[in-house]
Structure 1
């Protein structure tokens, strides 16, 4: 219940969430100015996404110790803050009648209700659950242009680089134009996310953007898509480990409970057992700076592949095909996967010292990563032609030193990134724990460990059932990546800005939507069919 001024009446704290949601729906009538004055309701799941993704926007800089720094994620703080937040909101709300609980300098200029001020205060007081362990290498005032660019490249330069030669084989030489087209589209949609964040100072993550555009339902739907994308990345990491370790040690075999495991399955299981302790870690500082060299690892792989072609007797003798229409559905999924970094872009933007440079950061990141993707695609296709496998490292002669360098470099990143990938999903599930189970530290840690262990075990099962790296990557790219990187940024932008969008930009955005929908439908159908045919 509210009084005539829009304030909650005494004794109605239980209805505060519904009140805020109704107020957003009532006050936002499509006018951008009114929207910018509204706070993001903090109730509802998930509350930990932005903070759990900050680790990718706070990777070590080049300052002080080469590529190493010391930024970490304190999971205890992250988890406990989400559990305490509702209780703190209630306590702060009840104290409003006895004291003035306001920000000294409100972030929003327009007057707001006591409850809105209270929620904003609690939000920002609890928004620092990402513990930055600054050993002199960070900048407390925000990321510089170079540092933000490195963070963006580390996000984009992932395992997708291994499959771009396979994508070029499937689509032919003309198919590489799709890589450049997707780079252009995803760079632009990354900038659209930045514009959406500028609408309201409290927007800190992709789910916040979806919440601003489509309410709590949009927040939940987008969050689920992002978590499914992260989960599928974790599965790909295990398949990658199994494939490449089996390439180095093809005679490996195991038998468990009377069931024989081939080399691939054996190494998937061993990799999971090695990764398991990192999943239990309560602080990810070490993993964060080891995994921060993603772009360096990509450069090493490209150079190693080039070395094999030039000096290890493989050569560049294959001419390939100009165009292959039958392989296009696979191509679009593989190339879309390469640019699936939009979940982290809002965090990188929020971390920047000069946010006006974000568009330039996006352009630089996409140019560098597209050059790496294109270079290894051309090299691999010229070297192996129609014999290319889903990962170019599987084609390399394993007795050569450069091949071993490429494979070992490929293997390191999944070991260090798996726990970082799984953390946002695990903390989101931990938010759903009943307060009775999360009230004490020991039960909380026990439940957290169980959730992480079960998530890891489930990815092993999926990797056993769907051991097809290329087809699974095409599915991820066509389904999750197309939605997150192509379609949803455009929909959120159009919903938030509405009639303020110019005619030319409206046309361009609708073209992107058409491309994204066609890519998602055709690519998802093709990849699912390929997986089903090979199981």
Structure 2
């Protein structure tokens, strides 16, 4: 959400709003599809009176029974739809996404710490400091002791939305102020744009990353007391999220125009007055705390997956502990190298959004829906699914190439 005002900078008022609404609609649809795949039937979840995991009806035995046996995880969906090779492919993409997220959090930490301690001028130095601070946390065998920090993410999201909207209402247009502080006073007629086609690939990736998180859908679905209400919950959630996204993006872009940073909190802190300096500093520290907690939580499944590969070859607990620490240190070192050589929050988010998020959250759910339930789907449903598969593939390939070329050109 931090990068949404930057989306408007990249594609303008019309482009930014269209991309957010389009992606929100697609991600809503694919979340619904994942729920139905977990439920084992292409019909809406609320059509069933019983819990999928407690049903006494044998799958396929009658019209009221589910078509397939309900499943509980992302890899299971991939395995049932595309076999073992499909499971390996989707797991690899998920691990790539998790590793990329580590890099993104390091860059974000470096940016925010540099804002608080500007005496250290090079962002790469701040990334190294931020990463060094993360190491003791990342070396823990389990995030059990830090899992409560996941609530920080929710608090931080609410804080960002409120901070951006309230600052916009109180201070209004701050473009001239930030332009003067940077030594630039541009023509006022050109600091807000209606449409910029050149920035579309970057915007698609940033918004895609904002709506990432489909990998946790199975956990949410399985933990619900009444999975039948899943689709209603998803619809309500997406309405709220899309509304907050547009509100944050519009407010941030209105205030800062084409001078907005790729993380709106950086622009807020840079233009904070005497009355709001303390509040903006607290918000910045909240962003840092959020990055710390999310880094640890993202590290856990990635390192566990790699540890499970070598664990069968180890017999002693000490060897397992040493291997666990070594895996995390190597991951941290690799993520640090990527963050130093590609210290662009917007570029990293865009690449992840265009490649892994579109594969995991757009192409895969639609393709699995076709594969698992093709015989029971209507012509319209098949057309929509194929549009997502083909359209997602085109956007992922062309968008990734265009974004990388643009970054190299700069």
TM-score range, shorter chain: 0.7 to 0.9
Equivalent position to 2:375, from 499, 505, 523: 499
The equivalences for 1:162-177 within 5 A come to 162-175=2-15, 176-177=17-18
Contact kept in structure 1, 2:209 and 2:352, CA below 8 Å: yes
The equivalences for 1:233-248 within 5 A come to 233-248=101-116
Contact kept in structure 2, 1:305 and 1:403, CA below 8 Å: no
Deviations 1:367-424 (CA, angstroms, capped at 9, x unpaired): 2221221111001110011112211122224452332233222111110111110111
**Gapped runs of 5+ residues in structure 2?**
41-67, 177-187
**Cα distance in 2 for residues equivalent to 1:309 and 1:359:** 34
Equivalent position to 1:326, from 185, 189, 198: 198
* Deviation larger for 365-374 or 308-317: 308-317
Give how far 1:203 is off. Answer: 2.4
Residue of structure 1 in register with 2:179 after alignment? none
**Cα distance in 1 for residues equivalent to 2:364 and 2:371:** 10
Equivalent position to 2:33, from 192, 197, 217: 192
The answer on 1:252 being equivalent to 2:111 is no
Residue of structure 2 in register with 1:293 after alignment? 152
Contact kept in structure 2, 1:299 and 1:372, CA below 8 Å: no
Contact kept in structure 2, 1:301 and 1:409, CA below 8 Å: no
CA RMSD, Structure 1 to Structure 2 (Å): 1.9
SS class of match (2:310): coil
Equivalent position to 2:19, from 163, 175, 178: 178
Number of residue pairs matched by the alignment: 364
Give how far 1:277 is off. Answer: 1.4
Deviations 1:188-217 (CA, angstroms, capped at 9, x unpaired): 111111111222556221111000001000
**Cα distance in 1 for residues equivalent to 2:24 and 2:247:** 14
Distance change >3 Å, CA 434–CA 412, structure 1 → 2: closer
Contact kept in structure 2, 1:287 and 1:417, CA below 8 Å: no
Contact kept in structure 2, 1:316 and 1:379, CA below 8 Å: no
Give how far 1:313 is off. Answer: 7.2
The equivalences for 1:436-475 within 5 A come to 436-437=313-314, 439-475=315-351
Residue of structure 2 in register with 1:408 after alignment? 285
Give how far 1:316 is off. Answer: 7.8
Moved over 6 A (4+): 316-319
Residue of structure 1 in register with 2:47 after alignment? none
SS class of match (1:172): helix
The answer on 1:374 being equivalent to 2:233 is no
Give how far 1:515 is off. Answer: 2.8
Distance change >3 Å, CA 192–CA 397, structure 1 → 2: closer
**Cα distance in 2 for residues equivalent to 1:271 and 1:429:** 24
**Cα distance in 2 for residues equivalent to 1:313 and 1:492:** 47
**Gapped runs of 5+ residues in structure 1?**
1-160, 254-261
Max radius of gyration: which structure? 1
Deviations 1:432-489 (CA, angstroms, capped at 9, x unpaired): 115342x221111111111111111111111001111111111111111111111111
Residue of structure 2 in register with 1:363 after alignment? 235
Equivalent position to 1:431, from 300, 304, 308: 308
Equivalent position to 1:268, from 127, 145, 154: 127
Distance change >3 Å, CA 316–CA 460, structure 1 → 2: closer
The equivalences for 1:121-136 within 5 A come to none
Distance change >3 Å, CA 511–CA 436, structure 1 → 2: closer
Return the TM-score normalized by structure 2.
0.84
Contact kept in structure 1, 2:137 and 2:296, CA below 8 Å: yes
Contact kept in structure 2, 1:390 and 1:469, CA below 8 Å: yes
Give how far 1:280 is off. Answer: 1.6
Contact kept in structure 1, 2:311 and 2:320, CA below 8 Å: no
Contact kept in structure 2, 1:482 and 1:520, CA below 8 Å: yes
SS class of match (2:215): coil
Equivalent position to 1:216, from 62, 84, 98: 84
The answer on 1:282 being equivalent to 2:141 is yes
* Deviation larger for 365-374 or 234-243: 365-374
Contact kept in structure 1, 2:141 and 2:324, CA below 8 Å: no
**Cα distance in 2 for residues equivalent to 1:310 and 1:233:** 32
Return the TM-score normalized by structure 1.
0.65
Deviations 1:61-109 (CA, angstroms, capped at 9, x unpaired): xxxxxxxxxxxxxxxxxxxxxxxxxxxxxxxxxxxxxxxxxxxxxxxxx
Residue of structure 2 in register with 1:66 after alignment? none
Distance change >3 Å, CA 201–CA 300, structure 1 → 2: same
Residue of structure 2 in register with 1:335 after alignment? 207
Residue of structure 2 in register with 1:36 after alignment? none
